[in-house]
Structure 1
């Protein structure tokens, strides 16, 4: 755990004991305790500890990382009991809204100090004991999930062979600083939808602006969990969601059946947008705040200020060859002289899950499509059954960012593209707006009007724009099987959830013991 992680953990510990300070101040005055102590972190809890009669060890347990948060919350409940407050609502108030609860009871006519002995004499029913324990567990788990780490399962093969389908990870929320939830009113343990009921798990009654405590920039090559940037508008049907995004469907509906001089179909995105908006029964739309958009996990290959390019499947950053993870994989056509089986590949140390093992006739021979790392590629090339290997190529695609007819890019030939950086300024030109309009308008919440070099931002004529956030370019390590920034563009800093930290469990036809408790390093 880094110094930054530890700092954030203790910042939260201090916040817990300081939130009720004003209420402590009012109560301390009535109990003839020097009221100024209410505003000194942990000195206020020392005074409360002396009143409770608890063992001294409990006071010191507050300084344990993470565990100390819950000890402090428990002491707040014990303090409420000392003031004659035993109801479930009282204890929930002491834990959930101490900054409101303690000032409230300090001035309430029924509040009185009864002492530790009477608290010990008070008996709760068995049901109440279970209810209190359950609520405390929920609060504890919710705080940990929101501010420290969260469990995450790898659902797809986009990060093969770095992260495998059914790897279960812990994602550290402190790696890039703790992000304050945009929607603090939510049902614990679910992301954006209540299972079975298929209703929102959160309320937008309170929405907080983007804020990150002890913010740290993402480093190039980090494996990062983030909210899907194009998950802001969703077709709310099981077959769509993040599988087929609103913007993908807009492209599909924008097919014109007309072709350009190169024989490529012409797409009209505005036509596609109208087709969706005019058919709400077929395409029921919902919007989601940033922190409730779908979670994705990819590798950050470019950071703000970088220029990225892909040539023939090779990634270049600022004109130089980019880092290649030992577990990064691409698809190859493997031409064979004789039968090559799955078991033969496994015996050579080649992982062949999520590959196509079917043979097809090609150039009077046999061909396999295999997903290989550089190390595996070398092993396959040495096999006597193999005649030659060719890297799979890809023609320009209409669904590749920026989805503009002037840029015939593909996932294998892409860019060059500059990644926006906080504080950097660009000229507002027609070419620039193809790439950066969504950043300016959607992610940084400006009203942009005009075109062809005559733009206004928030009603003011503008010839340039300075970015307020850092942006990142994310790609899956399984380069040919990954929906990533090549298709939907940049990831803003406010969408960053945390860093992939530890594989705590893994499953494939049984437990993958070799992956248990494995740190995620590259």
Structure 2
């Protein structure tokens, strides 16, 4: 009878070379990069709030988790890029991607549709000189979805003729009149007030939360506080569509239709003024006019049909936000994901002991 030594290794195990420490580290790093790339690309990404455009719903210094599976993960359009880096480094001079290959837009199925009042991360549409998925990331609240008609009347947003609820923690501007005496800087800090402009030695434009207004009025050197609203009919050339045909501004705007995939508009001077930029920049079709006749890509046309959906995004800090009022619609292919939770918040103005805003950690975003 032949006996087998149970402690003797098989030949293929004995002959298999043992990995070096360096190889083990390289394998671990490669696995971590691949795993994190898949998670970041398909499930979640982390973003920081760099500005005050969403105050006080989101604060400068908030760090967010953004879900990509809610609306469906967008597949890479620019597949060759260095992971985990911005599109440019060293003062926006060196690109971290190669745009020689551009893939068509495709999005995996999601678990929900993008809805009104969702807080959304998207690529900035006005960064038109670089690929869509390499453009700057912005975060705003979706105020209107495809097919909606939006208007702003005396700073109140209306969607399809109904007043849209204002964000509970949103901020706006007030004209504050004093008796000429100075305002205590500590009051400004405690009430979370931003002095946006000083008009005279007694008059200021201040951005503040609604709950700060009553307390501000209680101070003896404050003689008047009233909402600051840009008057109807006053043309602001920085406001979309940047055309004097539409005398619109921050607080009085529209009405205007948000384009929907498959929706058809009649081509007129006014509709072309409103939508030609959208058609050319995001749908890559050209609308021209000659001798009173409109042409789409050189062919005579009376109408135009949109090829994708669009959204209207605005910041909760209405008078300190660069949003759709300035650069227009956000195309569907620019949508990154839904902001769902604040996982960390750091106050850069705080001292060592109160730099972290503990009450905002793991806080759901509404």
TM-score class, shorter? 0.7 to 0.9
Q: Are 1:290 and 2:132 counterparts?
A: yes
Q: Are 1:507 and 2:343 counterparts?
A: no
Distance (whole Å) between structure 1 residues aligned to residue 139 and residue 52 of structure 2: 11
Match of 1:501, SS state, is: strand
Distance (whole Å) between structure 1 residues aligned to residue 290 and residue 248 of structure 2: 23
Match of 2:126, SS state, is: helix
CA shift for structure 1 position 117: 5.8
Q: Are 1:376 and 2:221 counterparts?
A: no
1:231 corresponds to: 127
In structure 2, relative to structure 1, the CA distance for the partners of 1:468 and 1:359 (3 Å cut) is closer
CA shift for structure 1 position 406: 1.4
In structure 2, relative to structure 1, the CA distance for the partners of 1:414 and 1:452 (3 Å cut) is farther
Contact 2:76 2:103 in 1 (8 A): yes
2:321 corresponds to: 482
Aligned residues: 346
Instruction: Choose which of 50, 66, 71 in structure 2 pairs with 1:176.
Output: 71
Answer 1 or 2: which has greater helix percent.
Answer: 1
2:282 corresponds to: 443
Distance (whole Å) between structure 1 residues aligned to residue 188 and residue 88 of structure 2: 42
Contact 1:172 1:500 in 2 (8 A): yes
Match of 1:504, SS state, is: strand
Match of 2:251, SS state, is: coil
Larger Rg: 1
Contact 1:328 1:478 in 2 (8 A): yes
1:157 corresponds to: 52
2:3 corresponds to: none
Unaligned 5+ runs, structure 2: 1-9
Match of 1:433, SS state, is: helix
Match of 1:480, SS state, is: coil
Distance (whole Å) between structure 1 residues aligned to residue 303 and residue 141 of structure 2: 31
Distance (whole Å) between structure 2 residues aligned to residue 195 and residue 375 of structure 1: 42
Distance (whole Å) between structure 1 residues aligned to residue 271 and residue 92 of structure 2: 44
Deviation track 1:333-390 (CA, whole Å, cap 9, x = no partner) reads 122356542434666xx322x43597942xxxx3443212333334434555532212
Distance (whole Å) between structure 1 residues aligned to residue 123 and residue 291 of structure 2: 32
1:412 corresponds to: 251
Q: Are 1:118 and 2:13 counterparts?
A: yes
Q: Are 1:355 and 2:195 counterparts?
A: yes
Q: Are 1:334 and 2:180 counterparts?
A: no
Contact 2:45 2:65 in 1 (8 A): yes
State the Cα RMSD in Å: 2.5
Unaligned 5+ runs, structure 1: 1-114, 234-287
In structure 2, relative to structure 1, the CA distance for the partners of 1:358 and 1:415 (3 Å cut) is closer
TM-score when normalising by structure 1 = 0.62
TM-score when normalising by structure 2 = 0.87
Match of 2:319, SS state, is: helix
